[in-house]
């Protein structure tokens, strides 16, 4: 019986492998038949296009591979702080949803319903156009503090640059020197983290409400404030049940960062789209993006499983 | 338009694999078109003057008229066209896989595209070039003064590369802000996010006159930073079909040179000029070599007019775009339009 089962499974596995090989082989031979160049050699050729912003120094003469890396870094630059913000806001709103104060509860409910029921793309576009419409033009930037300027070109901050510590100064069309958080970046960060926060808040509320009511009552009876009861008693217990769905939300946040090109943020997908158009290597560019997303998502999922297995004692992350 | 969401990427990949395993139609495009009674023409998702659906859902534009002319020449009816709107990311896959028979979608003819994408460009239907639109209040008169400027761009064309090339050649820094949708890129520019907007000059004129809150506050800079010869393309592997598309385009241009207009197609059949007679199928039969009948070129012009009429109606003097003929005038009228002779 078991031997037969193993034979069947081996057969199915072999069938799948054959199917996969057939797909790759047919595609490659058809591409060749039609005179379409294929292969990944273009990754080492000069990209030929510039990026609006990049953590990795990037010039048009750098390789396409470096452009992909810069795009990935841009994705992570918005996804990682976005994840931290989403969890923080999610915990606060989740607490608000359970508050005794009707005003706080009402506001938290309104936030969750308002944010959760509008498509994310609209969130991003709305935040982006609010930022670019409301802020002053780059040549008349708003000085918030010495060396800190806010304008349509973004938030300019003092930061380490090529010439050491740089303080932004108005110059030419905009602000020169220091670091820049562009409106594209800010809109992505705000939009993504608020959207994920609404879901996380609901997950936490559900997890807390699933705990026996005695937990909260006992904590209050011991003289804890409602906030202490939430952070010291309820949240650590609820967190364990909430971790898998919260991980899913954070992975969604990471994948949703691929909407960035809608508002002009040069993330991995935006860079892949541009390279695709320059080189015509559609399948290759898409394969790179899929592989990167898959790899990083699996990595994050493995990390979360590790946390679950260790039982996650103590305070929330 | 296609947004490159990972889920859709996977879908597109699978689709590409599936369509790639369909049998090749080498040499059979014309037969297949006649059997279907319809030409599948890949157009844009909406570029006014070139290919855009009007309020009644009718496709209009210079690229559209090229497809209509071919339908008239091949099938005898300019309306026997199935319009397939394609995003700039989709367009090459659509022509490669055989989803469309012609790609007539303001596509620049370049070496990479011609040699590496399994396409043949059948000619040039519009000579364009990339330029800059800026707000007048910047007090800039040349693109060379755009040092450190941020430039709004729509992705999916050769535009980003040209911009980077120009910046490198001039030794200035230009920061692109790349959007996937035309509307978002325009909105960002007019809200003041970027100091300049760049795309093909033909589109800049339209954007300034139709999209700007106050057109007079904006200025198209004199520099043209790239050559953008736009033209229809077909799939490789069917030389007969390639020849039909190439010579229909040539016929539209030749018709203008010979003075054959939409209104005069029939009356000119009695004209003494042998070139006109050949063109209209009264003299020797040019259609036979293409696998068509002798009146193919006459039908094409009767359906959409000659190149000059197509130009004026869609992008020139009689259109909202009001673009000058410029490079797109005939070779003997100061332009570089030069049809290979129909003989």
Band the pLDDT of A144: cuts 50, 70, 90. Answer: confident
Confidence class for position B3, pLDDT limits 50, 70, 90: very low
pLDDT band at B16 (very low <50, low <70, confident <90, very high): very low
Q: What are the two backbone dihedrals, phi and then psi, of residue B220, each rounded to the nearest 5 degrees?
A: -90, 120
Report yes or no: A16 at the B interface, CB cutoff 8 Å.
Answer: no
A262 and B181 within 8 Å at the Cβ level: the answer is yes
The tokens describing B329, both together, are 């005038």
pLDDT of residue A65: 95
pLDDT level of residue A171 (50, 70, 90 thresholds):
confident
Confidence (pLDDT) at B12: 47
The percentage of chain A sitting over the pLDDT mark of 90, rounded to a whole number, equals 61
A278 and chain B in contact, CB less than 8 A: yes
> Span B238-260, mean pLDDT?
96
Question: In this model, does residue A185 exceed pLDDT 50?
Answer: yes
- State the first-to-last Cα distance of chain B, in angstroms, to the nearest integer: 43
What are the residues facing B41 on neighbouring strands?
Answer: B83, B102
* B208: closest CA of chain A, how far (Å): 19
CB pairs under 8 A between A and B: 179
pTM of whole model > 0.90? Answer: no
Question: pLDDT-based confidence at B22, cuts 50/70/90?
Answer: very low
Residue B14 has pLDDT above 70, yes or no: no
Rounded Cα–Cα distance for residues A164 and A150 (Å): 22
- The complex's ipTM? 0.83
Residue B5: its pLDDT value, please?
55
Contact criterion met (CB below 8 Å) for A48 and A60: yes
User: Average pLDDT for residues A262-280, to the nearest whole number?
Assistant: 91
Across chain B, the runs of DSSP E, i.e. the strands, are 39-43, 52-53, 59-60, 81-85, 102-103, 119-121, 126-128, 130-135, 149-154, 174-179, 196-200, 218-220, 228-230, 233-235
Pairing of strands A159-161, A164-166: antiparallel
Kindly tell me the number of DSSP H helices and DSSP E strands found in chain A: 10, 8
Distance CA(B285)–CA(B291), nearest Å, equals 11
For residue B9, name the pLDDT band (cuts at 50, 70, 90). very low
User: Beta-carbon neighbour count of residue B283 at 10 Å?
Assistant: 15
Looking at residue A313, its pLDDT comes to 52
Can you say how many angstroms the Cα of residue B227 is from the centroid of all Cα atoms in its chain?
14
Q: Which residues contact B80 (CB under 8 A, 6 or more apart)?
A: B37, B38, B39, B71
Tell me if B191 and A277 make a contact (CB, 8 A cut-off).
no
Taking the Cβ of residue A262 and every Cβ of chain B, the question of whether any pair is shorter than 8 Å is answered with yes
Residues of B in contact with A66 (CB under 8 A): none
Question: Higher pLDDT residue, B303 or B209?
Answer: B303
Quote the CA–CA distance of A282 and A279 in Å, as a whole number.
8
Check CB contact under 8 Å for A264 and B178: yes
User: Which pLDDT value is given to residue B18?
Assistant: 47
Q: Between chains, do A286 and B235 touch, taking CB under 8 Å as contact?
A: no
pLDDT value of residue A38: 85
pLDDT at B13 over 60: no
Q: What token pair was written down for A11?
A: 């057969």
B20, B108, B241: best to mutate for the A interface, most A CBs within 10 A: B20
Report the gap between the CA of A284 and the closest CA in chain B (Å). Answer: 9
Q: Which residue of B has its CA nearest to A51?
A: B176
Q: What is the model's pLDDT at position A306?
A: 86
Yes or no: say if A280 and B113 are a contact pair by the CB < 8 Å rule: yes
What percent of chain A has pLDDT above 70? 97
Helix (H, G, I), strand (E, B) or coil at B37: coil
User: Helix axis angle, A183-209 relative to A64-97, nearest 10°?
Assistant: 40
Nearest of A311, A299, A189 to residue A251 by alpha carbon = A299
Looking at the DSSP bridge assignments, the partners of residue B219 are B134
Identical fold, B23-127+230-333 and B130-226: yes
Right CATH for B130-226 from 3.40.50.620, 3.40.190.10, 3.40.50.970, 3.30.70.20: 3.40.190.10
Q: What is the pLDDT of residues B101-120, one digit of tens each?
A: 999 998 999 998 998 898 99
- CA-to-CA distance for B83 and B5, rounded, in angstroms? 25
* Interface touch A35/B236, C-beta < 8 Å: yes
Q: Could you identify the residue written with the tokens 């156009």? A: A129
Pairing state of beta strands A169-171 and A174-176? Answer: antiparallel
| φ, ψ dihedrals at B120, nearest 5° | -125, 130
Distances from the Cα of A142 to the Cαs of A147, A168, A175, A181, B191, in angstroms?
11, 12, 11, 14, 17
Query: Per CATH, is B23-127+230-333 categorized as 3.40.190.10?
Result: yes
CB A211 within 8 A of CB A203: no
Cβ pair A48:B163 closer than 8 A: no
Pair B280, B306: CB distance under 8 Å:
no
CA A76 from chain centre, in angstroms, equals 7
For testing contact with chain B, the best of A19, A261, A269 (most B CBs within 10 A)? A261
Q: Do B157 and A262 touch (CB under 8 A)?
A: no
* CA B189/CA B133 separation, integer angstroms: 9
- Closest by CA to B241, choosing from B80, B28, B64, B22, is B28
Residue A260 has pLDDT above 80, yes or no: yes
Extended beta strands in B1-156, E state: 39-43, 52-53, 59-60, 81-85, 102-103, 119-121, 126-128, 130-135, 149-154
Q: Which of A40, A50, A51 to mutate to test the interface with B (most CBs of B within 10 A)?
A: A50
In which region does residue B183 sit, left (phi positive, over 0), alpha (psi from -120 to 50) or beta (all else)?
Answer: alpha
Average of per-residue pLDDT across B213-233 = 94
Render pLDDT for A41-87 as a digit per residue (tens, 0 to 9): 999 999 999 998 998 999 999 999 999 999 999 999 999 999 999 99
**Chain B CB within 8 Å of residue A34 CB:** yes
Shortest CB distance from A133 goes to which of B181, B191, B235? B191
Residue B179 C-alpha, separation from nearest chain A C-alpha, in angstroms: 4
What are the boundaries of each domain within chain B? 23-127+230-333, 130-226
Condensed to tens digits (0 to 9), the pLDDT of residues A289-303 reads 999 999 999 998 898
Domains annotated for chain A, with CATH where assigned, are 64-117+193-309 (1.10.3720.10)
Are the beta carbons of B193 and A282 separated by less than 8 Å? no
Q: Do A261 and B3 touch (CB under 8 A)?
A: yes
Residue A1 pLDDT class (50, 70, 90 cuts): low
Query: Under an 8 A CB cutoff, do B176 and A50 touch?
Result: yes
Q: What is the pLDDT of residue A43?
A: 93
Nearest CB to A50 within list B118, B167, B187: B167
Query: How many helices (H) does chain B have, and how many strands (E)?
Result: 13, 14
Which residues are A174's β-sheet partners?
Answer: A171
Q: How far is CA A84 from CA A147, B178, B215, in A?
A: 27, 27, 45
Q: Which of residues 162-181 of A touch B (CB under 8 A)?
A: 171-174, 176
Beta bridge partners of A36: B117
State chain B's mean pLDDT as an integer: 89
Nearest of B234, B232, B291, B238 to residue B28 by alpha carbon: B238
Assess A274–B contact: CB distance below 8 Å, yes or no.
yes
Instruction: Grade residue A180 by pLDDT with cuts at 50, 70 and 90.
Output: confident
């Amino acid at each position: 019986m078991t031997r037969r089962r193993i034979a069947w499974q081996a057969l199915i596995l072999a069938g799948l492998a054959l199917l996969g090989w057939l797909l790759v082989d047919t595609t490659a031979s058809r591409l060749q038949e039609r005179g379409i160049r294929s292969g990944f050699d273009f990754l080492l050729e000069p990209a030929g296009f510039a990026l609006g912003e990049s953590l990795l120094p990037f010039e048009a003469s750098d390789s396409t591979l470096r452009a992909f890396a810069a795009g990935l870094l841009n994705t992570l630059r918005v996804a990682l702080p976005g994840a931290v913000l989403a969890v923080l806001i999610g915990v606060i709103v989740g607490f608000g949803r359970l508050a005794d104060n009707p005003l706080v509860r009402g506001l938290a409910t309104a936030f969750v319903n308002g944010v959760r029921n509008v498509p994310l793309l609209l969130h991003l576009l709305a935040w982006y156009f609010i930022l670019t419409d409301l802020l002053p033009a780059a040549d008349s930037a708003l000085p918030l503090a010495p060396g800190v300027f806010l304008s349509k070109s973004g938030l300019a901050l003092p930061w380490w640059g090529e010439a050491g510590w740089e303080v932004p100064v108005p110059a030419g069309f905009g602000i020169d020197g220091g670091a820049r958080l562009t409106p594209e970046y800010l809109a992505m960060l705000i939009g993504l983290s608020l959207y994920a926060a609404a879901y996380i808040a609901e997950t936490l509320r559900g997890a807390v409400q699933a705990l026996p009511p005695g937990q909260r009552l006992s904590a209050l009876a011991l003289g804890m404030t409602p906030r202490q009861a939430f952070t010291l008693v309820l949240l650590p217990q609820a967190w364990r049940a909430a971790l898998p769905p919260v991980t899913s939300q954070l992975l969604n946040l990471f994948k949703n960062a691929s909407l960035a090109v809608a508002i002009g943020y040069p993330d991995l997908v935006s860079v892949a789209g541009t390279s695709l158009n320059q080189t015509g290597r559609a399948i290759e560019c898409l394969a790179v993006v899929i592989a990167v997303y898959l790899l990083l998502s699996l990595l994050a999922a493995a990390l979360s499983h590790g946390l679950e297995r260790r039982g996650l004692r103590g305070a929330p992350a | 338009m296609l947004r490159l969401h990972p889920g859709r990427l996977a879908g597109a990949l699978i689709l590409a694999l599936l369509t790639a395993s369909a049998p090749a139609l080498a040499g059979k495009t014309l037969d297949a078109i006649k059997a279907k009674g319809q030409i599948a023409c890949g157009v844009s998702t909406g570029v006014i003057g070139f290919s855009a659906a009007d309020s009644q859902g009718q496709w209009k534009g210079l690229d559209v008229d090229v497809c209509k002319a071919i339908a008239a020449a091949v099938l005898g009816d300019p309306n026997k066209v199935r319009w397939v709107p394609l995003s700039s990311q989709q367009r090459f896959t659509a022509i490669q896989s055989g989803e469309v028979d012609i790609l007539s979608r303001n596509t620049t003819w370049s070496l990479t595209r011609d040699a590496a994408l399994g396409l043949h460009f059948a000619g040039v239907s519009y000579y364009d070039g990339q330029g800059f639109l800026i707000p007048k209040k910047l007090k800039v008169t040349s693109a060379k003064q755009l040092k450190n400027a941020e430039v709004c761009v729509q992705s999916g064309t050769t535009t980003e590369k040209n911009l980077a090339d120009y910046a490198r050649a001039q030794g200035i820094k230009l920061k692109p802000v790349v959007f996937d949708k035309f509307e978002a890129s325009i909105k960002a520019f007019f809200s003041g996010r970027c100091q300049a907007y760049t795309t093909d000059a033909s589109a800049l004129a339209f954007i300034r006159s139709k999209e700007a809150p106050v057109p007079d506050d904006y200025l198209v800079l004199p520099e043209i930073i790239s050559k953008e010869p736009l033209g229809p393309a077909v799939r490789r592997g069917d030389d007969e079909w390639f020849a039909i598309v190439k010579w229909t385009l040539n016929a539209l241009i030749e018709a203008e040179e010979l003075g054959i207009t939409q209104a005069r197609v029939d009356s000119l059949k009695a004209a003494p000029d042998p070139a006109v007679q050949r063109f209209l199928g009264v003299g020797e039969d040019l259609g036979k070599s293409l696998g068509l009948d002798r009146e193919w070129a006459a039908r094409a012009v009767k359906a959409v007019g000659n190149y000059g009429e197509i130009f004026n109606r869609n992008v020139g003097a009689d259109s909202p775009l009001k673009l000058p003929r410029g490079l797109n005038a005939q070779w003997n009228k100061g332009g570089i339009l030069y049809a290979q002779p129909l003989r």
